[in-house]
Structure 1
Amino acid sequence: MTMHSRLALAGLLLAALPLAQAQDHPPAAQHGMHAHPAGHAGHEHAGHDPAMHQAHARAALAAAVADSRRDPANVARDRYRHPQQTLEFFGVLPHHTVIEITPGGGWYTEILAPMLADHGRYIGALVDPLAVAHGRSRDYQQRTLDGFKAKLAGDSERFGKVEVLTFNPAAPVLGPAASADVVLTFRNVHNWRSGGQAEGYFKAFFDVLKPGGVLGVVEHRARADVPADDSSGYVGQDQVIALATAVGFQLLGTSEVNANPADTKDHPNGVWTLPPVGRHEPADAARYQAIGESDRMTLRFVKPAG
Structure 2
Amino acid sequence: MNRVLLAALLPVALAACNGNPPEPAATADAPAATEAPTTAAAATPDAALQAAIAGDWRDPANVARDKYRHPAETLAFFGLQPQQTVVEITPGGGWYAEILAPYLRDGGHYVAAVVDPAALPEGGGRDYQQRSRDGLDKKFSAAPAQFDAAEVVAYDPAKPVFGAAGSADLVLTFRNVHNWRSDGIAQEMFDGFFAVLKPGGTLGVVEHRAIADVAADDESGYVGQDQVVALAEAAGFVLEEASEINANPLDTKDHPNGVWTLPPGNNHDDADDAKYQAIGESDRMTLRFRKPE
TM range (shorter): 0.7 to 0.9
Distance across 2 between alignment mates of 1:259 and 1:64:
24
Superposition map of 1:252-271 within 5 A:
252-271=240-259
Q: Distance in 2 between matches of 1:69 and 1:224?
A: 39
Amino acid paired to 1:78? D
Q: 1:136 and 1:290 mapped to 2: Cα distance?
A: 36
SS state at 1:234 partner: coil
Question: For the residues of structure 1 that align with 2:204 and 2:98, how far apart are their CA atoms?
Answer: 18
SS across alignment from 2:125: helix
Q: Following superposition of structure 1 onto structure 2, how do residues 93-112 of structure 1 map, counting pairs within 5 Å?
A: 93-112=81-100
Question: Match of 2:4, SS?
Answer: helix
Deviation at 1:35, TM superposition (A): 6.5
Aligned to 1:6: 6
Deviation at 1:3, TM superposition (A): 6.3
Percentage identity across aligned positions?
62
Match status 1:233 vs 2:232:
no
Could you say what secondary structure the match of 2:5 adopts?
Answer: helix
1:250 aligned to 2:238? yes
Q: 2:99 and 2:51 mapped to 1: Cα distance?
A: 9
Shift of 1:113: 0.6
Find the aligned partners of 1:4 and 1:156 in 2 and give their Cα distance. 14
Structure 1 regions of 5+ residues with no counterpart? Answer: 8-25, 37-53
CA contact (8 A) 1:35 1:252 kept: no
CA distance in 2, matches of 1:195, 1:135: 14
The answer for the alignment partner of 1:12 in structure 2 is none
Q: One-letter code of the match for 1:74?
A: N
Between the aligned partners of 2:69 and 2:31, the Cα distance in structure 1 is: 20
**Alignment partner of 1:235: what SS?**
coil
Partner residue, 2:285 = 297
- Cα deviations by residue, 1:242-295 (Å, 9 ceiling, x for unpaired): 000011000000000000000000001000000001001111111111100000
1:192 matched to 2:195: no
Kindly tell me the number of residue pairs found equivalent between the two proteins: 269
Q: 153, 160, 166: which is aligned to 2:148?
A: 160
Unaligned runs of 5+ in 2: 8-21, 24-29
- TM-score (structure 1 length as normaliser): 0.84
Mapped contact 1:101–1:124 kept (Cα < 8 A): yes
Report runs of 4+ in structure 1 exceeding 4 Å deviation: 26-29
TM-aligned CA distance change 1:193 to 1:214, over 3 Å: same
Q: How far apart, CA to CA, are the structure 1 residues paired with 2:108 and 2:160?
A: 23
Q: Does 1:79 align with 2:67?
A: yes
Measure, in 1, the Cα distance between the counterparts of 2:51 and 2:274: 33
Does residue 67 (structure 1) correspond to residue 55 (structure 2)? The answer is yes
| Cα distance change on mapping 1:223 and 1:35 into 2, 3 Å | closer
How far did 1:33 drift? 2.8
Residue-by-residue CA offset, 1:58-82 (whole Å, 9 max, x unaligned): 1111111111221110010000000
RMSD: 2.0
